[in-house]
Amino acid sequence: MVLLALFYLGGFGAVGWGALLAWGLAVFKRRVGGLRPEGEGRRVTGAMTRVFSIALASLLATHASAQTLDVLMIGDSVFEWNGAASVPQIMSADPRLKIRDESVGGARFSHPRRLFVGPMDIRAQVPRLPFDWVVITGGANDLAVECGCEVCDATVDTLISDDGVLGEIPDFLTDLTSDGLQVLWAQYYAPPATGGPFTACVDELVEINARLTALAETNDAIHLVNLAEAIDPGDLSLYDPDLVHPSPAGSAKIAAFLIEKINTLRP
């Protein structure tokens, strides 16, 4: 009765189901063992023991896989910054997530010599291993390097078209999701209120975000989150002294934000 009560109260996880299976097996053994001849009873209960054991092993395996997500982190220095206190390193402490970090400072999408730059091209940061989720940030270095955040229409269009359908980013994300991956795109937080080196890029980044929104509306496996929800531009303690990257406290805020978003969106 206690087990049934747990079930109806919604507290019935893998442990509860395992206990119920074990209890059912014990009851079955007692009843069948008492009703059948000794040899036949042992054969029947032995067969049922195997059935219950297989069912329990399957249940526990399913529970374990549901508890842990394989997450790949790729992108630029927003993730990589702060070393052992970086966003991916902090996220790896969450037992629900198995994190692999391939982000590289300075990485971008638009490399004219893509085959020769390796992981400095964000698209080349994806290893040939199974993952459930890919968390991505990127694009700011493309603007800084290719157009200095001044006349950037061509750079933005190369990254993603105004309807969100064409470009290096849509092609890349479509390839990822066609392989069954869920994509979490982390849009950049704003520069500090006092200004910073990337303040001139804000308009272009806002435009890229709008185009990404159009792309996500066509693909249910692409999820957008805005790191501005984690980083307050009025709080300089969340920024590195360079006024671009997160401080250790900023990385911790971003990590907590992404963990919450992934665990909210997970099936």
What is the model's pLDDT at position 170?
A: 97
Q: What is the pLDDT of residue 130?
A: 87
Query: Which residues, 6+ apart, have CB-to-CB distance to 96 below 8 Å?
Result: 67, 68, 69, 263
Distance CA(203)–CA(267), nearest Å, equals: 35
**Weakest mean pLDDT among 55-69, 80-94, 106-120, 135-149:** 55-69
pLDDT at site 14: 44
141-154 confidence digits (pLDDT tens): 999 999 999 999 99
Inform me whether the pLDDT recorded for 241 exceeds 80. yes
What's the DSSP call for residue 43? H
Distances (CA, A) of 73 to 114, 161, 208, 216, 255: 20, 25, 20, 19, 11
User: What is the reported pLDDT for 50?
Assistant: 54
Q: What is the pLDDT of residues 159-198, one digit of tens each?
A: 999 999 999 999 999 999 998 999 999 999 999 999 999 9
Q: Quick: pLDDT tens for 120-166.
A: 999 999 998 889 999 999 999 999 999 999 999 999 999 999 999 99
DSSP structural state of residue 108: B
Q: Is residue 39 over pLDDT 60? A: no
How far apart, in whole angstroms, are the C-alpha atoms of residue 193 and residue 234? 5
The pLDDT assigned to 267 comes to 74
pLDDT above 90 covers a percentage of the chain that reads 68
Average pLDDT for 9-14: 40
Sheet holding 222-226, edge to edge: 97-101, 69-74, 133-136, 182-187, 222-226
Position 30 confidence tier, pLDDT thresholds 50, 70, 90: low
Mean pLDDT for the stretch of residues 46-65: 45
Q: Which pLDDT band holds residue 38 (cuts at 50, 70, 90)?
A: low
HEC secondary structure over 38-80: HHHHHHHHHHHHHHHHHHHHHHHHHHHHHHCEEEEEECCHHHH
Tens digit of pLDDT for each residue in 200-227?
A: 999 999 999 999 999 999 999 999 999 9
What pLDDT, on a 0 to 100 scale, did the predictor assign at position 160? Answer: 97
Residue 234: what pLDDT? 97
pTM reported for the whole predicted model: 0.75
Whether the pLDDT of residue 254 is over 70: the answer is yes
Q: What is the mean pLDDT of residues 30-39?
A: 50
Residue keyed to tokens 């997160």: 246
* Structure confidence at residue 46 (pLDDT): 52
Res. 114 pLDDT band, cuts 50 70 90: low
Give how far the C-alpha of residue 28 lies from the chain's centroid of Cα atoms, to the nearest Å: 44
